[in-house]
Amino acid sequence: MIELPIYDRKGKQVDTLSVDEASLGAEVRPTLLKQAYVMFHSNRRQGSARTKSRGMVEGSTRKIYKQKGTGNARMGQVRSNIRKGGGVTFAKTRTHEDFRKDMPKKMRQLANRNALLAKLIDGEVKCIADLEFENPKTKEFKSILDAVGVDRSCLVAVDSENRNAAVSARNIANVDTIRIDQLNVFELLNHRYLVVDKASMEAFLDGSAWKKTEEVA
């Protein structure tokens, strides 16, 4: 059992939350995390990169200067790939490239939970007792992050209805926000810290975060 400290807005520990490692995969699984991370990263690619080969760029096919007698190295046409403005070697000319990868649903879900376990073991999860705001307050949110010792990149995970907290955090440098029901291995591993309120953490652990989303849908 992992005892996760619960902090108030001033950085003082006020409670603890018991987290069962078995529900998060029991142990950190690097191979699974890497496979899921690569899948998420590949699926973000558009596959629309295009470059021109030497046959597609404009320019004469005539030799730049004669083969011999100039004292220069032999040189072909201006469209050669070794000249500035020439074509690209092994140019990407496909109309579309599909980089998508897939994983079984249960493996994706386990990877997301296992990434959270890795963060918990490393002490990189900062759980706040309450992150409700009557109005968006960026300065107040920044003071909370400073109070709990967040000094690197940070991912803030809150309930979809807690819009004021998300708006308060989004203008802070190196801070990104995400809905708790969309928390995934890619975002977790791309940030040093995870900041989450107690209610959202409990919803993620017991699975109620997704049930709520299904009810709304």
Average pLDDT over residues 6-14: 89
**What pLDDT is recorded for position 208?**
80
3-state helix, strand and coil shares in percent for the chain, rounded to the nearest 5: 35, 15, 50
User: What order of strands is seen across the sheet that includes strand 175-179?
Assistant: 13-19, 2-7, 125-128, 193-197, 154-158, 175-179
Do 155 and 53 fall into the same domain?
no
**What pLDDT is recorded for position 214?**
55
Residue 32 C-alpha from the chain's centroid = 16
Residue predicted with more confidence, 169 or 95: 169
Average pLDDT over residues 194-198: 91
Do 204 and 110 fall into the same domain?
yes
- CATH code, domain carrying 170: 3.40.1370.10
Do 119 and 148 fall into the same domain?
yes
* Final residue belonging to a domain, choices 71, 98, 125: 98
Do 197 and 112 fall into the same domain?
yes
Do 108 and 132 fall into the same domain?
yes
Do 121 and 34 fall into the same domain?
yes
State the total domains in the chain: 2
CA angle centred on 18, ends 194 and 181, rounded to 5°: 45
Average pLDDT over residues 200-216: 74
Do 110 and 131 fall into the same domain?
yes
Judged against a pLDDT cut of 90, whether residue 82 lies above it is answered with no
**What pLDDT is recorded for position 111?**
92
pLDDT confidence bin for 203, thresholds 50/70/90: confident
**What pLDDT is recorded for position 89?**
86
Determine contact, residues 76/68, Cβ cutoff 8 Å.
Answer: no
**What pLDDT is recorded for position 134?**
85
Do 38 and 133 fall into the same domain?
yes
* Final residue belonging to a domain, choices 98, 113, 137: 98
Model confidence, pTM: 0.75
**What pLDDT is recorded for position 212?**
59
Average pLDDT over residues 122-138: 89
Do 8 and 83 fall into the same domain?
no
Average pLDDT over residues 12-22: 88
* Final residue belonging to a domain, choices 98, 115, 134: 98
Q: Report the chain's mean pLDDT, rounded to a whole number.
A: 87
Residue predicted with more confidence, 31 or 1: 31
**What pLDDT is recorded for position 193?**
93
Average pLDDT over residues 94-104: 79
pLDDT in tens, 34-75: 999 999 888 888 777 788 888 888 888 888 888 888 888 888
Do 59 and 164 fall into the same domain?
no
The structure tokens listed for 11 are: 């950085």
**What pLDDT is recorded for position 191?**
93
Do 51 and 26 fall into the same domain?
no
SS3 for 209?
helix
pLDDT confidence bin for 213, thresholds 50/70/90: low
**What pLDDT is recorded for position 53?**
86
Do 146 and 167 fall into the same domain?
yes
Instruction: Look at the alpha carbons of 13, 18, 24, 26 in this order and tell me if their dihedral is positive or negative.
Output: positive
Q: Which domain holds residue 94?
A: 46-98
Burial class from Cβ neighbours inside 10 Å (0-12, 13-18, 19+) for residue 116 reads buried
